A and B are shown apart, each in its own frame.
Chain A
């Protein structure tokens, strides 16, 4: 026990002990004269060490800084194209996240629409939208698309859902997209890990 406490005296002197160990060493010091004198010896050693003078720099600070500045090598700058590529690479997960959000949203809306139509809730809407229905709804002319083409595209989609064709390809398409996004993400992660490991190995080889 005494030997063990002696092992911690240096750390105690350095103020590195906390909690139980600190209290243990403190209480031990009160009852152990050997450890107490050991601690005093360590404190004397510390005082003695500080008697060794620091170096008085021969070079004034300004001159030292100037000398360092003169010896600084040109640092290799990363070309802008490479920087842009690096930034794009870092943004890949964000892009994949957006793609995932888009797929989820699109398929949720389509699913809701499908359920609504199957329950007969969208009958009037279909009648209005399908070109063959002859409905008199006025669509705004968005992005240069004509009223007929907008109504046609939407109508075709609704018709496809209504006829039950979507039931077959919806889950397959949904899962395929999820798998593709997942694969892309894991590939990115694996590449990131490989690059990081390579950089760490290079850094340890090029010891500072």
Chain B
């Protein structure tokens, strides 16, 4: 029996094989969205837990990777929503940089303002803006991961840029 068919039946060995095939891809995708390695580990575990829990709903005729990425995106969005709410309540730091140094040409204060304005965007706008503008993923790829059309992705990017520009202007950053 094929690996995916075994997985659909709930076979734990098949799931483990799939996990080891896809954990890097899922981890990398979540990291791109949430940009926090510690949270990404937890979310990768959460994603595979959700995947196993829904094994019966997976259609083996489709791509497991695309399905996993979609579940990972939902888990990442849930996390961004939680963090956004928490940040509004307890003023968490906005910088979850994961080791890559920021551009030194950008002044620290400006960077802080950009981070703060960006983190104020609704989770779904943050996610598309991160993937499209920072990570330069294609609209088609983002659309597949979010389960929406490429046109809807374009619209979300447009709204994210517009909201970001407004908040940056209010914060005194020329954008």
Partners in one complex: no
